[in-house]
Every structure is written in structure tokens, then in C-alpha cells.
């Protein structure tokens, strides 16, 4: 009996030592930040005064730093909104982190230096966000050769300029945000050169870029194009007489763009996947085409600040998913259709600055219509 107890004790002791050893070896095998990358980050800290990075500690545990789980290489850096300041040389140590896949330096101030071409040396880069950093000059062509790049955001750098060649190479990316950059030398028609994106969802942010040319049906029919933001491009003309495709666009903002014939194209009714359509201050006149009520997925519709006349369509009640409707600052007349009471998801309704009157028999809950009575004349 004693020998049996001794055997059981020995087995328990061996198992305890095994698991203790395994736990210790596992913890020892966890990747640590490589010394050269630790050093590069500390140099970045000294130049840009980053908080929370301490010498003698593992940089993989630092805020805003992401390391690869097995190798310990620094693969992600998010210093957005960190109040960073400095010239080009203040970020030079960044380019020693050659394994980076995601870089976010958005909303910092680099006092207008040229955008460093070294960003094109991050061959593993998939996401690059340098928005609102005050960079200027031509976009380095090396960035357009980053074959793994999925998302690029250079918006808000007002003095960044594009060349046609660099722009065309970048069009293979899934997300491109270039709002508030200088694309005055680029024509929108270059988009029609794309025969196919390798991504299932493509977003193009090109608002306030001074891009020129025509928005045609060929562009709206681009495969896998989901979002197109062209707000504020006053020299851009919309020529969409017909759509002979099953366009996949879900969000379309053409505010301040010029429409051929100053009319809302009836062909927009073929954009059956639209969830958001914004045509603010486009110089539109004429009546609202009844075909818009065919856009069954719409949640957001803004036709405000135009010269649209006639009555409001009672068929708007077909838009059962509508949460936002702005028809203010037009020349609409007549009664608000009683069918509006069927729009049960509507939370924002602005009909101000029109010649409309409100049917007192319409039941619109206050929670679904912000101060509706005060909007109507």
C-alpha cells in the first residue's frame, strides 16, 4: 500500500514538473521586439516625443505598436492623433521598420515637407494612412508600386499633387481616399480604363480634388465599385443618360457637381444597390423623377439646395428603409403626402424653404420627424 502511494506521488510530481517546465519554456519562447526595431522606435520617440515608450521594455507591449505573434517583428504602427510634429528627418527611423504592414500617422503636423519616397520601400504594406499630415509636392511614384497595398488614405494634404501615371497605378487598390488633395491634372475618365478590380468591394474618396472631366455610365458600371465620393468637384460634369449594367454602387455623393441638362437622370433608378444618394447644390431643376422611388435600399437621400419644383412624390412611401430625407431649399409646392406616415424608420426630415403645407391628418411621430412643423411654410 505504501509503495502504491509512493508511486502515485512520483507520478503527480513528474506531471507537475512537466507542466511547469512547459509553461516556462512557452513563456520564454514568446517573441520579443527585435533590438534594431526597438532602437528605431526609440529614435522615433526622441524625434516626435511619443508618450508611453520606455527604454528597457519590450516594444511589442508599447501602445500603438503591433508585433507579429511568432517572429516579434513590428508590423503595425498607429500614431494617429498623437500631436506629432516635425520635419522629414524626424520620421527617418520609421523606415528601418521594414516589416511594417500597417502605418497610420493621420492627423499629425509635419509642417509641409515633401511626402517621403521611402514609404514606397515597405514591400509588405497593406494599409497606409497619412491623411491630414500637411505633406506637399508630387506623390512619389514608388508608392504606386506597392503590390500588396489594399488601402491608401492621403486625404487632407491640400498641396499633394498627382501625376496621371502614378494615379493609374494606384487604381488597383480596394480603398483610395484622396479627398482634399490636388488632382487638377487628372481626368475622371481614367477610371474607365479599369476592366476589373481584384477586390470584392472598392471605395474611391475623391471629394474636393478638382478632378475634371465627365462622370459617365462606364464609370458607374465599374465592377465591384461600392462607394464613390465626388463632393465639391465643381468642374466635373455628370453625363449618365443610360445605364446598361447592374451597377454595384451603394454610396454616391455628387454634391456641387454639374449635371447635364440640370436634371436628375432617370437612369439613376438602375442603381438598385444604392443606400445613400447625395446631390446637394448641383444646380438641379425640374421635378423629382418618379423612378427614384424604385431605389428600395435607400436609407439616405439628400436633394437639398437645388431648384427642383413640383410636388413631393407620394411614391416616396415605397422607400421603407429611409432614415434621412432632405429636400430643403428647393421650389417644391403642394401638400406633404399623407403616405409619409408609412416611413416608420425616418428620423431626419427637412422640407424647409419650400412652398409646402402640412396635412394635419398626417400622423408623424415627433421621434421620427425633428421639428417638422417649424420646417414647413
Query: How would you write the pLDDT of the chain (377 residues) with one tens digit per residue?
Result: 555 444 454 555 454 554 444 343 334 444 688 899 999 999 888 777 778 898 889 999 999 999 998 889 999 999 998 877 766 566 788 899 999 999 999 998 876 678 888 999 999 999 999 999 888 888 999 998 898 999 999 999 999 998 888 888 888 778 999 999 999 999 998 887 776 666 778 899 999 999 999 999 989 988 889 999 999 999 999 999 888 888 999 999 999 999 988 899 989 999 999 999 999 999 999 999 999 999 999 999 999 999 999 999 889 889 999 999 999 999 999 998 888 888 889 999 999 999 998 766 555 554 444 444 444 44
First to last CA, the chain: 100
Tell the residue number behind the cell numbers 403626402, with chain if given: 337
What is the pairing mode between strands 65-67 and 74-78?
Answer: antiparallel
* Alpha-carbon span 349 to 362, nearest angstrom: 14
**Closest C-alpha among 229, 159, 18, 11 to residue 3:** 11
Please compute, for residue 160, the number of CA atoms within 13 A of its CA located in the half-sphere on the CB side: 26
3-class SS of residue 40 = helix
CA distance readout (Å), 230 to 48, 86, 138, 210, 365: 35, 32, 21, 9, 35
Count of Cβ atoms closer than 10 Å to residue 206 Cβ:
26
**Closest C-alpha among 339, 337, 296 to residue 320:** 296
Classify each residue of 301-332 as buried b or exposed e, where b means 16 or more C-beta atoms within 10 Å of its C-beta.
Answer: bbbbbbebeeebbbebbbbeebbbbbbbbbeb
Given a contact cutoff of 8 angstroms between Cβ atoms, the answer to whether 130 and 84 are in contact is: no
Given a contact cutoff of 8 angstroms between Cβ atoms, the answer to whether 248 and 199 are in contact is: no
CA distance readout (Å), 177 to 46, 142, 151, 207, 328: 30, 18, 8, 9, 29
3-class SS of residue 371 = coil
Note the Cα 69 to chain centre separation in Å. Answer: 28
Domains located in the chain, CATH noted: 284-377 (3.80.10.10)
State the cell numbers at 264.
436628375
Given a contact cutoff of 8 angstroms between Cβ atoms, the answer to whether 250 and 226 are in contact is: yes
State the cell numbers at 329.
431649399
* Alpha-carbon span 129 to 300, nearest angstrom: 28
Sort residue 365 into left (φ over 0), alpha (ψ -120 to 50) or beta. beta
Classify each residue of 164-177 as buried b or exposed e, where b means 16 or more C-beta atoms within 10 Å of its C-beta.
Answer: eebbbebbbbbbbb
* Alpha-carbon span 314 to 341, nearest angstrom: 11
Amino acid at each position: 500500500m505504501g509503495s502504491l502511494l509512493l508511486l502515485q506521488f512520483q507520478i503527480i510530481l513528474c506531471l507537475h514538473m512537466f507542466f511547469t517546465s512547459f509553461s516556462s519554456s512557452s513563456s520564454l519562447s514568446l517573441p520579443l521586439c527585435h533590438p534594431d526595431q526597438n532602437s528605431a522606435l526609440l529614435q522615433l520617440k526622441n524625434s516626435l516625443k511619443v508618450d508611453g515608450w520606455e527604454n528597457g521594455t519590450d516594444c511589442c507591449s508599447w501602445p500603438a505598436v503591433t508585433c507579429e505573434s511568432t517572429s516579434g517583428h513590428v508590423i503595425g504602427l498607429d500614431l494617429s492623433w498623437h500631436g506629432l510634429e516635425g520635419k522629414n528627418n524626424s520620421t527617418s527611423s520609421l523606415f528601418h521598420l521594414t516589416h511594417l504592414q500597417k502605418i497610420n500617422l493621420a492627423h499629425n503636423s509635419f509642417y509641409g515637407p515633401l511626402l517621403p519616397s521611402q514609404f514606397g520601400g515597405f514591400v509588405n504594406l497593406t494599409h497606409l494612412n497619412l491623411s491630414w499630415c500637411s505633406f506637399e509636392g508630387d506623390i512619389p511614384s514608388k508608392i504606386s508600386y506597392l503590390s500588396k497595398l489594399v488601402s491608401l488614405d492621403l486625404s487632407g494634404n491640400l498641396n499633394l499633387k498627382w501625376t496621371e501615371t502614378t494615379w493609374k497605378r494606384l487604381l488597383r487598390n480596394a480603398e483610395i481616399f484622396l479627398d482634399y488633395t490636388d488632382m487638377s491634372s487628372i481626368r475622371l475618365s481614367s477610371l474607365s480604363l479599369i476592366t476589373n478590380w481584384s477586390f470584392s468591394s472598392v471605395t474611391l474618396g475623391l471629394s474636393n480634388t478638382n478632378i475634371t472631366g465627365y462622370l459617365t455610365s462606364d464609370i458607374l458600371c465599374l465592377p465591384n465599385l461600392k462607394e464613390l465620393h465626388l463632393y465639391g468637384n465643381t468642374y466635373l460634369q455628370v453625363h449618365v443618360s443610360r445605364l446598361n449594367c447592374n451597377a454595384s454602387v451603394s454610396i454616391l455623393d455628387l454634391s456641387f457637381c454639374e449635371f447635364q441638362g440640370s436634371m436628375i437622370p432617370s437612369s439613376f433608378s438602375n442603381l438598385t444597390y444604392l443606400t445613400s444618394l447625395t446631390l446637394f447644390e448641383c444646380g438641379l431643376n425640374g421635378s423629382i423623377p418618379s423612378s427614384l422611388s424604385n431605389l428600395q435600399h435607400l436609407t439616405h437621400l439628400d436633394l437639398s439646395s437645388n431648384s427642383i419644383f413640383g410636388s413631393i412624390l407620394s411614391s416616396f412611401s415605397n422607400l421603407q428603409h429611409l432614415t434621412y430625407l432632405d429636400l430643403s431649399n428647393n421650389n417644391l409646392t403642394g401638400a406633404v403626402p399623407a403616405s409619409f406616415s408609412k416611413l416608420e424608420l425616418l428620423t431626419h426630415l427637412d422640407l424647409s424653404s419650400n412652398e409646402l403645407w402640412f396635412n394635419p391628418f398626417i400622423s408623424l411621430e415627433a421621434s421620427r420627424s425633428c421639428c417638422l412643423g417649424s420646417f414647413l411654410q
